[in-house]
Amino acid sequence: MHSTTRRNFLKQTSFLAATSLLPSFSVTENSEEKKLHTRKPIVISSSNGIPAITKAMEIIQQGGDALGAVIAGVNIVEDDPNDTSVGLGGLPNENGIVELDAAVMHGPSHRAGAVASLRNIKNPSKVARLVLERTDHILLVGEGALNFAKAHGFQEENLLTERARQEWLQWKENMSTNDDWLPQHSIEEKNIGGNFAPYYRNYGTIHCSALDSFGNLSCVTTTSGLAYKISGRVGDSPIIGAGLYLDNEVGSAGSTGRGESNLFNCSSVMVVEWMRQGKSPEEACMRACQRIVDRNKEQRLLDEKGRYKHQVKFYAINKKGEYGSAGILKGGVFTLHDGKEAKNYDCAYLYD
């Protein structure tokens, strides 16, 4: 696999318009059939995914199903109070309340489950799996998602760590010089509270896709969403087809970054469809980036050079075990476990 720049990408292929989605089919295999279909497993994730892919691969190599593996992997990140983008310790909404989103997809059964705006439960990926397994629905939100989690034995806890609270407070104090929230200051200072740049609002998420030893795919995306978002905002992460998508006959894909871009463009399902057409995982990810750029009409989302200024990254694997990743902006990193070791790799990109 090699990294692709926008210049090389545009030389290699012209960007295609959205294609009509083709039907997909579930795969059902009994235990004897599974024994005959052993594959070399592979796990891909976002830049914060080394612990996740390590755990997922361990479970897969012990004969585990990919869905349980990727969920167990991202649970490590959800439980980490030092990762401010996911689960416990995630940065809160504008009111200082942590709201979590997650979705899972299981290749062999072609089922999905998701939760959004879930409060007080640090492992939304586990709740999303229960939505898949124990309901006739796909997405539960807000209070309903919380009540469902509690009905299944999840315990409520305060997810706002002291570190996240301090970062939220700094953001609030430094938003504007014209409101009533002030950071610490001396009586000589002027224009207090306008130092917004150090408290940039991050788009933090972890995605993880895996191909297990039986040749089956599963994936998960989990996040605390855009830092300091409007209460109730839901990004792409829990939306099937936007923040993640898979077809067990083709491949799996997911994303991190500006969720609104993926919601509008149904990016992850497009990555899978491009792989269905024979595109490599990396090229499919590049096409998703280009689709976002080409479809944007809002000037406020462009930089001083007239280019789309927000980062969106994609991660994909296909049924053959090939992998790839791409982002709109240079500097993206993804993680991969090939069955031997977990490593970081640079993403392909459109812009320097």
Catalytic residues: 205
**In angstroms, what CA-CA distances link 294 with 4, 22, 222, 237, 320?**
18, 23, 27, 22, 30
**Distance of alpha carbon 298 from alpha carbon 292, whole angstroms:** 12
Amino acid at 279: K
Phi (first) and psi of residue 301, to 5 degrees: -95, 5
Q: Which helix (H) or strand (E) holds 167?
A: helix 162-173
Give me the sheet containing 333-337, strands edge to edge. Answer: 139-141, 111-118, 100-106, 217-226, 203-211, 42-46, 333-337, 342-346
* Residues 6 or more apart in contact with residue 19 via CB below 8 angstroms: 273, 277
**Distance of alpha carbon 121 from alpha carbon 149, whole angstroms:** 8
Closest listed residue to residue 90, CA positions, set 68, 113, 119: 119
Alpha helices in 62-157 (DSSP H): 66-78, 124-134, 142-151
3-state helix, strand, coil in the chain (%, to 5): 30, 25, 45
**Distance of alpha carbon 108 from alpha carbon 23, whole angstroms:** 15
Please give the torsion angle defined by the CA atoms of residues 106, 107, 112 and 114, in that order, rounded to the nearest 10 degrees.
50
Instruction: Tell me how far the alpha carbon of residue 302 is from its chain's centroid.
Output: 23
Beta bridge partners of 219: 105, 209
